[in-house]
């Protein structure tokens, strides 16, 4: 019960942080989002630093945004633009600053984005490792779980269902399993995903860059119509494959019993659909963090096998 209360407090705090600030989309006189015709990306009004592309600057000026009011991306600081709420001050601006700072020294904001995403995953490793361990514990408990499932296979009355639930709970306690651990992993990624999305959309230096023949600000939907269309197809496939295997490795038998058996497929479909209309830079972030998770799960699995 105490753990549940702590989780509720964390969720409330997270929601408060998220609702204190957000990206503002640039709109025209009819309140419709203004898109960059070259990349298909919806432009952000409250950018953190100046774009350098002349066409982009022209679009901003035509819609009343004074570019000179913003610092250059090379000179951006966490305090630039003043206070914008807890969410921006704690997550978005520091994240944007680190990406720009590293990118300036390695001469690639795209590579910097990938390195920062991996760095954050390394910092969060103790938490995500526990999730991976839970998946392995579920596999160890599978014989006991299958036995209980067989025992109550044809019993649907309330009393039998209550006994089944009690026996399952005892099995989870025996193997120290948290049934919702696999789902918790997915929710842990959400704040980081939102923070990276905002940092990318608010920092022109990132989406103006090219990497692996990809224009980082270009959405795959628009990219399919360019000369490097095949790279955007590969990007979309990589997003889908890495998402599926990442969630698949974290899915547990317990989560399957709770009606979430098809969660990996559902999440993969949702992410692919979202990825088609998001900057390629965000796709690279998503792939990087998923690959890290997959490698992490493989390492955890092998270490457990060696210890047994």
CA distance 5 to 140: 29
Rounded (10°) angle between helices 93-106 and 181-202: 70
pLDDT band at 287 (very low <50, low <70, confident <90, very high): very high
Tens digits of per-residue pLDDT, 168-186? 888 888 877 776 655 555 5
Residue 278 pLDDT: 85
The pTM assigned to this predicted structure is 0.73
CA distance 101 to 105: 7
Beta bridge partners of 211: 214
Closest C-alpha to 92, from 24, 13, 35: 24
CA distance 197 to 285: 9
CA distance 75 to 205: 12
The region of weakest confidence among 61-70, 213-222, 243-252, 293-302 is 243-252
Helical H runs in 78-180? 86-87, 93-106, 109-123, 125-151, 158-174
Selected residue with higher pLDDT from 183 and 150: 150
Kindly list the domain boundaries of the chain, sorted by start residue: 21-128+177-307, 133-174
Q: Are 290 and 212 in contact (CB under 8 A)?
A: no
Strand ranges inside 152-222, DSSP E = 210-211, 214-215
Selected residue with higher pLDDT from 4 and 55: 55
Position 253 pLDDT exceeds 50? no
Instruction: Tell me phi and psi for residue 248, to 5 degrees.
Output: -65, -45
Residue 76 pLDDT: 93
Residue 256 pLDDT: 47
Tens digits of per-residue pLDDT, 53-71? 888 899 999 998 999 999 9
The region of weakest confidence among 45-54, 79-88, 234-243 is 79-88
Work out the number of other CB atoms within 10 angstroms of the CB of residue 48.
Answer: 27
């Amino acid at each position: 019960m105490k753990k549940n209360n702590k989780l509720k407090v964390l969720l409330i705090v997270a929601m408060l942080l998220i609702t204190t600030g957000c990206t503002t989309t640039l709109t025209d006189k009819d309140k419709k989002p203004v898109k960059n015709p070259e990349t298909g990306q919806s432009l952000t009004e409250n950018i953190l630093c100046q774009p350098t592309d002349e066409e982009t600057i022209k679009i901003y000026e035509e819609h009343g945004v004074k570019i000179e009011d913003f610092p250059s991306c090379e000179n951006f600081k966490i305090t630039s633009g003043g206070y914008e709420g807890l969410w921006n001050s704690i997550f978005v601006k520091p994240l944007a600053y680190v990406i720009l700072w590293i990118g300036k020294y390695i001469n690639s904001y795209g590579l910097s984005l990938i390195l920062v995403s991996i760095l954050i995953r390394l910092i969060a490793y103790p938490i995500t490792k526990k999730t991976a361990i839970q998946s392995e514990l579920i596999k160890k408990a599978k014989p006991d779980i299958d036995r209980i499932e067989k025992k109550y296979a044809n019993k649907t009355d309330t009393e039998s269902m209550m006994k089944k639930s009690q026996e399952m709970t005892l099995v989870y306690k025996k193997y120290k399993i948290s049934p919702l651990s696999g789902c918790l992993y997915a929710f842990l990624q959400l704040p980081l995903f939102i923070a990276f999305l905002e940092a990318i959309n608010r920092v022109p230096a990132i989406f103006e860059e090219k990497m692996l023949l990809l224009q980082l600000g270009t959405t795959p939907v628009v990219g399919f119509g360019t000369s490097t269309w095949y790279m955007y197809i590969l990007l979309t496939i990589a997003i889908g494959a890495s998402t599926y295997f990442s969630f698949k490795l974290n899915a547990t038998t317990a989560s399957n019993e709770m009606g979430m058996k098809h969660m990996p497929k559902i999440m993969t479909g949702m992410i692919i659909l979202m990825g088609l209309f998001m900057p390629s830079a965000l796709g690279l972030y998503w792939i990087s963090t998923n690959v890290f998770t997959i490698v992490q799960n493989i390492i955890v699995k092998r270490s457990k096998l060696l210890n047994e």
